[in-house]
């Protein structure tokens, strides 16, 4: 089986135009106490133009505040006011780091080097986003704050996943770093090493609404994705193994298209809307343009670059009005997830980029989001 694509990028990428140290800041505050009695902390990173909030519970992106065309700063990521919300039934992986393996593994099982591994089935017959109580979104991460060589503020989260945790082989050391770059850019860098041959597929599961978190719909946004192919799925959302052309399907975002234009054609399917993996053009392992999300009402746009081979587009079909930050309800399809990743269930499809990580090998991945308003 092929080895995973390895991105040759630095953990903290420097930029030729950085904010000066006087414009940057990292502050922190108490974010509540989780069910185990572990205090959670919220860090706020500022660069004079925008702010982000992250927490050590699940290495989670809690908020992104960017200006609209009038300069009004608003939060554009769904989430909760403290850690109790992230432990509640209302949390649907909001902003978390998903892993060890994000997305789905068919039947919650896989074979590696002649051994059969059994994982938690937490999504019908399948395994989703790393499993149960020790999946990456539910654990406490260690934290280091820093600035890169250009003065950009960053928070690095690290976690040691024990051999056998959630059924996966190997002791895995994982790091996730959020860096707030100049030019209204947020970069997320991932690293992982393992003591045994294992699987890894990491993503951030932020729910975006560029009109402001809590706005009624995301279907008024437009989306463009640099993907000629997608991976069709069965009725449990497991890929069939086919790499199908997007042409003449609701998944053809090669030209900018409203998210709501063709979603009704998917409403009666198992996905209930968009919940599909698009195969990005270009060479995985190199940073390249993946997608652009735009909201005409506020003028905000978010451009995504990544080293990952694919992008999961999920239209918030299972949001159900749960109460989020500031008491705002999150209605169905009021946000979209754009998850950079390896293809779902890659361990069962030899034609997909591999998610196998060898002992002693380094997995690296980077995704950069650039924001603007006009």
| Catalytic annotation, residues | 205, 339
Peptide bond into 83 cis (omega under 30): no
Q: Measured between alpha carbons, how far is 343 from 244 in angstroms, rounded to an integer?
A: 13
Looking up tokens 């749960």 gives: 322
For the chain, the C-alpha Rg in angstroms (whole number) is 19
Residue 145, phi then psi, degrees to nearest 5: -95, 150
Asked if 294 and 300 touch (Cβ cutoff 8 Å), the reply is yes
Asked if 212 and 74 touch (Cβ cutoff 8 Å), the reply is yes
Grouping H, G, I as helix, E, B as strand and the rest as coil, residue 311 is strand
351 C-beta neighbours (distance < 10 Å), count: 10
Residue count of the chain: 374
Q: Alpha carbon 304 to chain centroid distance?
A: 11
Taking Cα atoms as reference points, which of 230, 364, 226, 229 lies closest to residue 305?
226
69: tokens are 């065309």
Asked if 161 and 168 touch (Cβ cutoff 8 Å), the reply is yes
DSSP 8-state symbol, 83:
H
Sheet holding 336-341, edge to edge: 207-208, 336-341, 310-314, 275-280, 227-230, 244-245
Tell me how far CA of residue 144 lies from CA of 173, 299, 332, in angstroms: 15, 35, 36
Tell me how far CA of residue 173 lies from CA of 18, 95, 158, in angstroms: 30, 21, 7
Residue 84, phi then psi, degrees to nearest 5: -60, -35
């Amino acid at each position: 089986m092929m080895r995973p694509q390895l991105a040759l990028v630095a953990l903290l990428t420097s930029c030729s135009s950085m904010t000066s140290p006087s414009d940057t800041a990292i502050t922190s505050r108490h974010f509540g106490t989780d069910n185990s009695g572990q205090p959670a902390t919220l860090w706020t990173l500022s660069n004079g133009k925008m702010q982000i909030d992250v927490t050590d519970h699940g290495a989670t992106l809690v908020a992104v505040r960017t200006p609209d065309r009038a300069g009004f700063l608003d939060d554009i990521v769904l989430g909760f006011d403290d850690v109790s919300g992230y432990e509640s039934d209302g949390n649907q992986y909001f902003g978390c780091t998903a892993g060890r393996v994000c997305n789905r593994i068919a039947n919650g099982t896989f074979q590696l080097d002649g051994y059969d591994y059994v994982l938690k089935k937490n999504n019908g017959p399948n395994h989703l986003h790393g499993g149960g109580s020790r999946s990456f979104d539910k654990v406490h991460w260690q934290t280091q704050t820093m600035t890169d060589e250009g003065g950009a503020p960053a928070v690095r989260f690290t976690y040691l996943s024990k051999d056998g945790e959630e059924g996966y082989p190997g002791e895995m050391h994982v790091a996730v770093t959020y860096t707030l770059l100049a030019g209204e850019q947020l970069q997320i860098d991932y690293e992982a090493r393992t003591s045994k041959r294992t699987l890894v597929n990491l993503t951030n599961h932020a729910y975006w609404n560029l009109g402001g978190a809590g706005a009624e719909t995301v279907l008024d946004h437009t989306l463009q994705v640099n993907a000629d192919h997608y991976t069709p799925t069965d009725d449990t959302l497991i890929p069939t193994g086919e790499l199908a052309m997007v042409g003449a399907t609701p998944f053809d975002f090669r030209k900018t298209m409203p998210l709501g234009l063709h979603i009704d054609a998917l409403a009666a399917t198992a996905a209930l809307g968009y919940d599909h993996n698009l195969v990005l053009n270009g060479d995985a392992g190199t940073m390249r343009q993946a997608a652009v999300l735009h909201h005409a009402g506020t003028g905000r746009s978010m451009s995504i670059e990544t080293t990952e081979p694919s992008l999961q587009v999920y239209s918030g079909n299972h949001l159900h009005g749960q109460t989020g930050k500031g008491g705002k309800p999150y209605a169905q399809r009021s946000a979209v997830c754009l998850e950079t990743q390896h293809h779902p269930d890659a361990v069962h499809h030899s034609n997909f980029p591999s998610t196998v990580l060898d002992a002693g090998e380094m997995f690296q991945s980077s995704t950069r989001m650039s924001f603007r308003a006009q």
